Amino acid sequence: MDADTAAGIQPGEASGALSVLRPTGVEPGVLIHPTAGRRLATERWLLATLPPPLRDQARWEWQQYRVAMLPLGGLFSAVRIPECLLAPLSTSTESGGLDEFLAEALDGGPVICDPRFSRYYMLVPAGMPATLHQMAEAWRALDVGCLGSGSYLGVPRLDAVNRDPGLASYWSVPMGSTAVLCTPLTVARLIAAGRHCVEAEPDA
C-alpha cells in the first residue's frame, strides 16, 4: 500500500473489530508504562488528522493491514525522497544502515519507508517553507515531492519499525513523541547532499 492506495472498508463492515479496538478505561491506581503512554499519545495525535467518525476505521486498518491512510497538510506534511537519492549518503552496507543514517542525520525526526516503491517520506510541519517547495519543484525529475493539503500518506502503526517481508510501509525512523517532526532545512540539506552524490557518480 502506498500514498495513492487506500484499503476500501465500508461503514459498519467491521463493527465487531472496531468495538475490540476501542480504548477501555483504566482503573485508579493502575500504572501505565511511560513508553506505552507516549505511544498512545502519539497515536491519538496522528489520528487527530481525521474527523472523529473515521478514527476507529484507521485503527482497524492499522490492526489488519499495518498501514492506515491519513490526510496531510493539517498537523503535518511529508517530503518524498527516492531511496536512490539517499542510499549514496550512507556508508553502511548492512541491512538497516540507511535507517540508522537517517535517524542521525535528521536528529530523530520521523521517517516512513515504502519499500515497495523504494521511497522515503520525511514528516515535516504542515506549513513547509516556500524554499522547500521550490527545491522540490526543481528536483521533480528526481522524484522528490512535497506532499501537503489534498494528499494522503500510508502511515504505519507505531510498532511497525522493521522491514516487512510483504513490503508494507514501516517507520524507518520511529516517531518518538507527539508532534516531533523533521526540520525542513535539515531535509533540504539532505536532498542537496543526495543530489550532489548522484550527480558525482561516473554513470550519472
Total-model pTM: 0.80
List of residues 6+ apart from 59 with CB closer than 8 A: 18, 21, 47, 68
Residue-wise pLDDT tens for the chain (204 aa)?
444 433 333 333 333 332 333 333 444 554 445 678 888 999 999 999 999 999 999 999 999 999 999 999 999 999 999 999 999 998 876 768 999 999 999 999 999 999 999 999 999 999 877 777 777 777 887 889 989 999 999 999 999 999 888 788 999 999 988 989 999 999 989 998 998 888 776 654
C-alpha cell at 80: 518524498
Percent helix, strand, coil in the chain, to 5, is 40, 15, 45
Range list of β-strands (E), 50-157: 67-71, 76-82, 111-114, 119-125, 145-147, 152-156
- Show the DSSP H helices in 48-129 as ranges: 52-65, 83-86, 97-105
